[in-house]
Amino acid sequence: MSVPSRCILVCLVILLSFSSGCAGFRKKAEQKSVTTVVEENFKQRWVEKRSAELAGQGMAQDEARRQALVEFRDKYEFTAAAHQ
């Protein structure tokens, strides 16, 4: 192998090592587990539905939402979503 070919090969190896290695230094974003996503979605839908029911009974919107959150925490305390 000639000197220029060897030099090009070394340069390509160095370039490749730096370009592929950069991703290894980035902090990976934490992904939520499927369970967490499902529980959060359930909590959101349940609280919205219950808030609407309470508001329909004459309770103020903000008070209805607070009450719905309290009820969710009491009823579904075993979920991680209840503790958020």
- The pTM score is 0.63
Residues 6+ apart with CB under 8 A from 66: none
Per-residue pLDDT of the chain (84 residues; tens, 9 = 90+): 677 777 777 767 776 666 655 555 666 667 889 999 999 999 999 999 999 999 999 999 999 999 999 999 999 999 999 998
Nearest CA to 49 among 33, 71, 19, 80? 71
Q: Which tokens sit at 31?
A: 């992904």
DSSP H/E element including 37: helix 34-56
Orientation of helix 61-75 relative to helix 34-56, angle to 10°: 130
List the domain boundaries for the chain: 32-84
Residue with tokens 């990976």: 28
